[in-house]
Chains A and B, each alone.
Chain A
Amino acid sequence: MTGDLAALQRTLGAEHAAIFVLGALGGRAATLPAPQLRAALASAYDAHVLRRDELRTMVIGTGGDPVAAEPAYRLPSPLSTAAQITAEALRVERTCVTTYAALVAASTDDERRWAVEALATTAVGEADFGGHPQALPGLGSG
């Protein structure tokens, strides 16, 4: 497996997890009087589904067999309030930002361009879940 392909597969694996968790969070939020949170979760979910599909295409284009999603992913508990759901959504987004940053480092050309855009778009979207600006998102900096 080339470096690029391994990084693409790791990113695809992260997208699978993000989609699962965001979907579950959307289900939990459906019962809450929190329309903005529901909208933000739906938007994030759609964005990650789109990226998952794009990553699958990139993996195939690199000669790989796209990694499949796990049957399930662990959810933190409890997840009953809007604040808990929001915090978990922010954690998911930040994890993805870090994964995209790693893909930037491991890729070139079109894959790097994709990763740079995904990093920035997702970092900016953290504000929907109460995220504050970071100087160096994806690098572990506050």
Chain B
Amino acid sequence: MSGSRGSRAVSRRALLRVGGATTVVGAAVLSGCDLGHDSSSKPAAVPPPDPDQHIVDAARAELRGLVARLSATSGAASLVASHRLQLAALQGDPPPTTQRSRAFTPNQILARERRAAGRFTHWAFTCQNGDLARVLASVAAGIRMQLVVRGTA
């Protein structure tokens, strides 16, 4: 399977939910049209807060942290590549390449990957949006697959 093709497909799906800005912009444009000439007499429509935004932010931060530390760790290239794909699926930006991070020890890799798998599983359980849950559950499963390869699942 093509990783890049899959990544784009997932990103589009994720954008429906994860890119809350899409909904917000659309709502603002629509409300502007509806208001017409009376726009100055009515308050601007405020989009409702995204109930999953804190999960999206935390998930992106988790993956960014892993990418940064694993990029400084020898023998972790496959994990870095995997987490970059997962971060892209959540519309997250990778950490800057100029960011200097400490390398993980082998035990730290396992501990952090296990912790991440647990967090993504929990977020998949608890988020409200189903499409987001699918991405989060897939990320959790992808992390667990890597742990199996390392013989530590």
Contact = CB atoms under 8 A, between A and B. Distances in A.
Contacts of B121: 116, 120
Interface in A109-142: 112-113, 115-116, 119-120, 123-124, 126-127, 131-142
Contacts of A116: 121, 124-125, 133, 137, 140
Interface stretch (B21-29, B47-55, B64-72, B81-89): B81-89
A41 interface: no
A136 B10 contact: yes
B130 A138 contact: no
Interface stretch (B37-45, B93-101, B102-110, B145-153): B145-153
Interface string A97-112: 1000110111110001
B140 A120 contact: yes
B153 A124 contact: yes
Please provide the 10 A-B residue pairs with the shortest distance between their CB atoms, ordered closest to farther: A141-B6, A142-B3, A133-B145, A135-B85, A105-B130, A105-B134, A142-B1, A120-B141, A123-B141, A135-B82
Nearest to A106: B130
Given A104-B133, A120-B121, A137 B3 contact: no
B131 interface: yes
B54 to A, nearest CB: 19
A101 B145 contact: no
A119 B137 contact: yes
Interface residues of A, number: 30
A138 B141 contact: yes
B2 interface: yes
Interface of B: 1-3, 5-7, 9-10, 13, 78, 81-83, 85-86, 89, 121, 124-125, 130-131, 133-135, 137-142, 144-146, 148-149, 153
Contact of A141 (B3, B140, B149): B3
A139 B145 contact: no
Given A124-B144, A135-B142, A142-B1, A104 B130 contact: yes
A141 B145 contact: no
B145 A123 contact: yes
Contacts of B83: 135
A138 B146 contact: no
Contact of A127 (B1, B13, B148): B148
Contacts of B5: 140
A137 B140 CA distance: 9
Most buried by A among B6, B13, B137: B137
Contacts of B149: 127, 132-133
B89 A136 contact: yes
A107 to B, nearest CB: 7
B81 to A, nearest CB: 7
